[in-house]
């Protein structure tokens, strides 16, 4: 099972990454000013991840593929890494759908 890794950046912001069982980052959150706000962001990812309609499937100007996960209000709550193909990106989405809802939250050391 995947997990949410959290950390406080040098800028004092709070960040999370959803990491698959193989250790690869599959979704990254934005910087949050408080740990509480970050935890709310994680809960929003858990709630919205299973819903296919919440994913924007995108292609960057350099031909790489990525996705954004959006909350009910349309705000982006997580961004993927860049993928070489649309198929890889879609596999990344499926991994988020599978891992996020039950993923524990672990603070990075």
d(CA 14, CA 99): 21
pLDDT exceeds cutoff 90 at 108: no
Q: Can you give the residue ranges of every domain in the chain?
A: 3-107
Tens digit of each residue's pLDDT (9 = 90 or more) over 82-105 = 999 999 999 999 999 999 999 999
**Band (67; pLDDT cuts 50, 70, 90):** very high
Residue whose C-alpha is closest to residue 107's, from 14, 12, 2 = 14
Res 4: pLDDT: 98
Class of domain 3-107: mainly beta
pLDDT at 109 over 80: no
Whole-model pTM: value is 0.94
Which pLDDT value is given to residue 20?
93
């Amino acid at each position: 099972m995947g997990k949410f890794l959290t950390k406080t950046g040098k800028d004092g912001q709070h960040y999370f990454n959803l990491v698959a069982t193989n250790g690869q980052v599959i979704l990254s959150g934005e910087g949050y000013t408080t740990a509480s706000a970050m935890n709310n962001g994680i809960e929003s990812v858990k709630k919205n991840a299973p819903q296919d309609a919440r994913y924007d499937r995108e292609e960057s100007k350099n031909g790489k593929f990525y996705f954004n996960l959006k909350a009910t209000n349309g705000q982006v709550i997580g961004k993927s890494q860049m993928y070489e193909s649309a198929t890889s990106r879609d596999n990344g989405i499926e991994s988020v759908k599978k891992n996020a809802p039950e993923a524990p939250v672990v603070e990075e050391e």
